[in-house]
Amino acid sequence: MNTIDVIRIIRGLIKDTLRTDGQKAYEYAGDNKFTLPESFVDSSSIKVYQNGSLLSTDDWSYSSTTNRVTIEFVTSGKVLTNGDIITITFSYYGKYSENEIKDYLEASLSFFVQYRYSKVFFLDSNDNIKTEDGINPTTSELQFIAIIAAITIDPDNITIKTKEFTINGTTEKSKDELIRDAFNNFRKNFGILNFVEYDQNN
């Protein structure tokens, strides 16, 4: 399991799974830039058609900054003509961008320090979750990190039910209370999760 898998779990928990029904048709009238109607697009899913014919990926580019597809024919020798119908299909997320999810994920790692977990997690330069001692997180740890991140993002709408514990965001508990419950439940039910014992005299 890697960070991509953790983000996929987070999206599932906050009900922000990938939608595959994105489609928009445009009539070309001189501007070769086409703005997509959804903000959080999966760029790898984009397909561009000119009058029903699929264009090569060499003939267009996508900017996540402007959320636009720009058609510039490089290899095919085709041209855009007024009245051409440009159809763009794509998959997208409805709530959060990839960068937003990563920011929440990184912020959630601080709770493991707050609750005195025995490992200190961080995101490296490649956005992989690592520990300070160089030992990769276990699958259980990554799943738990996903749960904490999901609570951090959308505590009012998250519901997690396993045979060991239940977290219900529809209750009147605050985000901090839900996170505390999650750590307490893992502390009780998962012997593989190690916490540093707190010495009240220090």
pTM above 0.85, yes or no: no
Pairing verdict, β 121-123 and 129-131: antiparallel
Specify whether 45 is located in the same domain as 58: yes
Boundaries of domain holding 86:
19-93
Does 49 reside within a domain?
yes
Could you count the other beta carbons within 10 Å of the beta carbon of residue 6?
21
H helices present in 17-166, as ranges: 98-108, 110-114, 139-153
Could you count the other beta carbons within 10 Å of the beta carbon of residue 108?
21
Condensed to tens digits (0 to 9), the pLDDT of residues 33-90 reads 999 999 999 999 999 999 999 999 999 999 999 999 999 998 888 999 999 999 999 9
Q: Which helix (H) or strand (E) holds 83?
A: none
Specify whether 106 is located in the same domain as 178: yes
How would residue 163 be classed by pLDDT, with cut points 50, 70 and 90?
low
Contact 96, 102 (CB under 8 A): no
Last residue of a domain, one of 45, 61, 93: 93
Condensed to tens digits (0 to 9), the pLDDT of residues 97-152 reads 999 999 999 999 999 999 888 889 999 988 899 998 877 888 888 999 999 999 99
Does 201 reside within a domain?
no
